[in-house]
């Protein structure tokens, strides 16, 4: 189909463009961007007052399929992604069976294509069964139809330094990325929340910041020595930010992400004992939140990633000690950043969009994802209403689960249209199944 997105504010970090323009689409591609373009029989979509930007990319999504479809499946997760403005998501490997073989990766990728709402890019496991003992067939995963170039045992750290070094060394042969879950398990045994004043007040075993930072420091040293590509997921402490900043200054090939909940929540929320706030790594102190926000602004952190982690209510709604870690994120991520950081002037809109588009796309070298908005580029686009205000209701979200920590919060801005290769996946706020 031929389409003309008319008079929107086109925000494209790859070119630095931030101005009113029309975007003409023919079939799967953008054909022209400019002022006062002719319609010539195209479907005209009035975007006056709206933001037109590249489709969002999420590096860290738990779609739960195969194996845990009671929490989420690729269809419901894709619907949540489309509603959140995403056109590409990375599906983490901690499924059942684990995504440690080409067969599982190809299943996940094919299911994403069959649903057709978002490009699903499988993440391969670093070790067989996430057990941390033996490397998965990374070369086989890379050579598969799914073309896996990103590996993580997310949720379980690769604790053995020799195994981690071998993973980095092997991945470097085809310039793939290793993303290790940064947690020293010896320092977090029985831990329930961030270690600090609040954990003492509440009487909950603490999770020290060193547990994250020790692992990041080790992995940075290993990656530097091998010239390998390391990605640090869900950074949560000021000390981690300092380590990353120093490593980047020294030329280590490292990228990093932060979640919206670590930018928005601090450990005071645990005083409610509501398990919806239980997450790994835990929400930290206000000083950590401030450091993470500064790291976005100065480029130390490359991407905002949701760590979208749905759980069925019968599992999540338990006493704090027994509830699993994890929160929903796909539909609230961008509005949270706009509400918290753009509206307050801590981030420019162009920088915020970069963190959802070219930033994460660059981590995995995803050509055609996250922009640019230019002639011959794939028409993967998100259109956001910046003036929309809405109250978060977990039961109204598209995920099969409802465990959002932002229940009843008022957010500003919301995606109204999403296009995947020129086809509506979200139109007028409605997912196009």
Q: Looking at the annotation, which residues are catalytic?
A: 307
Cβ pair 68, 96 in contact under 8 A: yes
SS (H, E, C) the chain: CEEEEEEEEEEECCCCEEEEEEEEEECCEEEEEECCCCCCCCEEEECCCCEEEECEEEEEECCCCCCCCCCCCHHHHHHHHHHCCEEEEEECCCCCCCCCCHHHHHHHHHHHHHHCCCEEEECECCEHHHCCCCECCHHHHHHCCCCCCEECCCCCCCCCHHHHHHHHHHHHCCCCEEECCCCCHHHCCCCCEECCHHHHHHCCCEECCHHHHHHHHHHHHHHHHHCCEEEECCCCCHHHHHHHHHHHHCCCCEEEEECHHHHHCCHHHHHHCCHHHCCCCCCCCHHHHHHHHHHHHHCCCCEECCCECCCCHHHHCCCHHHCCCCECCCCCHHHHHHHHHHCCCCCCHHHHHHHHCHHHHHHCCCCCCCCCCCCCCECCEEEEEEEEEEECCHHHCCCCCCCCCCCCCEEEEEEEEEEECCEEEEECCEECC
Q: Can you name the residues that pair with 422 across neighbouring β-strands?
A: none
Count other Cβ atoms within 10 Å, centred on residue 45.
23
CA distance 427 to 42: 16
Q: Are strands 43-46 and 2-12 parallel, antiparallel or unpaired?
A: parallel
Which of 353, 334, 361 has the alpha carbon at shortest distance from 9?
A: 353
CA distance 67 to 31: 41
């Amino acid at each position: 189909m031929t389409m003309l997105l008319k008079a929107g504010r086109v925000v494209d970090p790859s070119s630095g463009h931030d101005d009113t323009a029309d975007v003409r689409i023919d079939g799967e591609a953008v054909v022209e961007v400019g002022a006062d373009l002719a319609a010539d029989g195209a479907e005209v979509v009035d975007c006056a007052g709206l933001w037109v930007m590249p489709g969002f990319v999420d590096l860290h999504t738990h779609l739960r399929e195969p194996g845990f479809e009671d929490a989420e499946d690729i269809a419901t997760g894709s619907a949540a992604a489309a509603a959140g403005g995403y056109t590409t998501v990375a599906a983490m490997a901690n499924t059942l069976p684990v995504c440690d073989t080409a067969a599982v990766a190809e299943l996940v990728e094919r299911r994403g294509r069959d649903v057709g709402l978002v490009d699903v890019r499988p993440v391969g496991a670093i070790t067989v069964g996430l057990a941390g003992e033996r490397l998965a067939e990374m070369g086989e995963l890379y050579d598969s139809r799914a073309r896996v170039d990103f590996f993580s045992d997310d949720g379980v750290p690769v604790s053995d330094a020799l195994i981690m070094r071998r993973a980095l060394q092997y991945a470097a042969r085809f310039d793939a990325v290793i993303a290790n879950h940064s947690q020293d398990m010896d320092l977090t045994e029985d831990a329930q929340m961030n270690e600090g004043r609040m954990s003492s007040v509440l009487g909950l075993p603490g999770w020290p910041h060193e547990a994250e930072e020790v692992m990041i420091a080790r992995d940075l040293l290993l990656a530097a020595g091998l010239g390998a590509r390391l990605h640090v997921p869900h950074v949560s402490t000021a000390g981690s930010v300092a380590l990353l900043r120093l490593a980047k200054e020294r030329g280590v090939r490292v990228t990093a992400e932060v979640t919206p909940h670590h930018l928005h929540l601090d450990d005071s929320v645990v005083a409610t004992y509501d398990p919806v706030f239980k997450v790994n790594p835990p929400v930290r102190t206000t000083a950590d939140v401030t450091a993470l926000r500064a790291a976005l602004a100065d480029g130390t952190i490359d991407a905002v990633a949701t760590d979208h982690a749905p759980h069925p209510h019968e599992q999540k709604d338990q006493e704090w000690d027994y509830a699993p870690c994890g929160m929903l994120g796909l539909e609230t991520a961008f509005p949270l950043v706009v509400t918290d950081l753009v509206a307050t002037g801590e981030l420019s809109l162009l920088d915020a969009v970069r963190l959802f588009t070219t930033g994460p796309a660059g981590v995995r070298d995803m050509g055609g994802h996250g922009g640019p908005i230019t002639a011959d580029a794939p028409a993967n686009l998100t259109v956001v209403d910046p003036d929309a205000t809405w109250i978060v209701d977990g039961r109204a979200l598209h995920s099969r689960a409802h465990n959002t920590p932002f229940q009843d919060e008022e957010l500003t801005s919301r995606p109204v249209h999403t296009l995947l290769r020129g086809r509506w996946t979200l139109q007028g706020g409605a997912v196009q199944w």
